[in-house]
Amino acid sequence: MKKLIMAAMVLVVAASAMAQSRATDRTADPPGRFVGAWRLAWLEEPAADGKIHRADCTGLLVYTRDGHMSVQVMYKNAQAASGAAPVHYERGGYEASFGRYDVNDAHTFTYHVEGALVRSLVGRDLPRVYEFSGNQLIVKSPDPKEHWRVAWERD
């Protein structure tokens, strides 16, 4: 009887370890690491004088397992329009868009914009460079003319 109980305990521990291993593998897979809701931690962008600063804003980013994403960012104080930026993502202090995403490799993904507050973004494919750092997802444009960087955080 003791051998039977011991064998059952060993099976339970082994099954638990295998389940834990599969869960860890999913989070190590880059597409799986994106899935979920992220809150804006910080956004760095050029000020009118060209120097990089942290914008006073809040936001939400959502990735789904089936390859959809949406992003919303609200500046706490409406931004003055800057004609210097190569791409405009916000209007009236608000940014909102949705679409599909493809993880290209361990450092890049492409955001396929299907709808956006700024209509000139609709239909565009926006390549992005990313890295995971702790509980943060840090994203920037690979375009050297775009000088912004954003960090999203999971609680």
Question: pLDDT digit string (tens) for 141-152?
Answer: 999 999 999 999
Strands (E), the chain: 36-46, 52-54, 57-63, 68-75, 94-103, 108-116, 125-133, 136-140, 149-153
pLDDT of residue 70: 98
128 and 108 Cβ atoms separated by less than 8 Å = yes
| 4 vs 20: CA distance, rounded Å | 24
Percent residues over pLDDT 90 in the chain: 67
Look up residue 117 and give its two tokens: 């507050």
pLDDT of residue 2: 54
pLDDT of residue 79: 63
Rounded to the nearest angstrom, the gap between the alpha carbon of residue 102 and the centroid of all alpha carbons in its chain is 12
| 27 vs 20: CA distance, rounded Å | 11
What are the percentages of helix, strand and coil residues in the chain, rounded to 5?
25, 45, 35
pLDDT of residue 3: 52
This prediction has a pTM of 0.77
Under 8 Å CB-to-CB from 147, ≥6 apart: which residues? Answer: 45, 46, 52
Residue 28: band (very low, low, confident or very high) from pLDDT cuts 50, 70, 90 = low
φ/ψ of 103, rounded to 5, equals -85, 120
Residue 110 clears pLDDT 70, i.e. is over it: yes
Alpha carbons within 13 angstroms on the beta-carbon side of residue 5 total 2
pLDDT of residue 139: 98
37 and 61 Cβ atoms separated by less than 8 Å = yes
* DSSP helix/strand/coil, 133: strand
Lowest mean pLDDT among 3-7, 32-36, 83-87: 3-7
| 82 vs 95: CA distance, rounded Å | 15
Residue 23 clears pLDDT 50, i.e. is over it: no
pLDDT of residue 26: 36
